[in-house]
């Protein structure tokens, strides 16, 4: 989980998720991510694990409106439940999410990560 946290720190530092939070969720949940040398970072996380991770790294809650989700409808005090509800409502398995995930995957590849294809894509 430490490598995934480092990945999130890197994504935040490079500002890769701004405007593409759906892509970030798609990559974290549904794709294999490794470092350039093959060291595994993640083989895909559960919704709950991603929610806990976003809480731990104190991800900005402004990402919810980017997905068309009204933050007023989300649990205001329990940050982990907040993120879990965002993930559930985001439809991370949709074609739009796969396209957004591919966009982020290309940016991550340029940053030195090896990101696998979306589930259901030929070659996966």
Three-state secondary structure readout of 62-82: CHHHHCCCCHHHCCCCCHHHH
Local confidence band at 5 (pLDDT 50, 70, 90 cut-offs):
very high
- Write the CB contacts of 25 (distance below 8 Å, at least 6 apart in sequence): 50, 87, 90, 92, 97
> At residue 121, does pLDDT exceed 90?
no
pLDDT at 122: 46
pLDDT, tens digit (0-9, with 9 covering 90-100), for 41-96? 999 999 999 999 999 999 999 899 999 999 999 998 999 999 999 999 999 989 99
> At residue 99, does pLDDT exceed 60?
yes
8 Å CB contact between 100 and 67: no
**Percent of the chain's residues with pLDDT above 90:** 87
CA distances from 42 to 15, 48, 61 (A): 20, 15, 23
């Amino acid at each position: 989980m430490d490598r995934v946290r480092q990945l999130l720190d890197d994504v935040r530092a490079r500002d890769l998720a701004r405007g593409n939070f759906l892509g970030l969720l798609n990559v974290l949940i549904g794709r294999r991510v490794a470092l350039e040398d093959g060291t595994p970072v993640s083989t895909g996380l559960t919704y709950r694990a991603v929610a806990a991770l976003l809480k731990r790294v104190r991800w900005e809650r402004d990402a919810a409106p980017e997905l068309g989700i009204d933050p007023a409808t989300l649990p205001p005090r329990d940050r982990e439940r907040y993120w879990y509800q965002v993930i559930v409502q985001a439809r991370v398995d949709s074609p739009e999410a796969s396209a957004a995930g591919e966009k982020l995957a290309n940016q991550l590849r340029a940053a030195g990560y090896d990101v696998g294809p979306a589930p259901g894509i030929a070659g996966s």
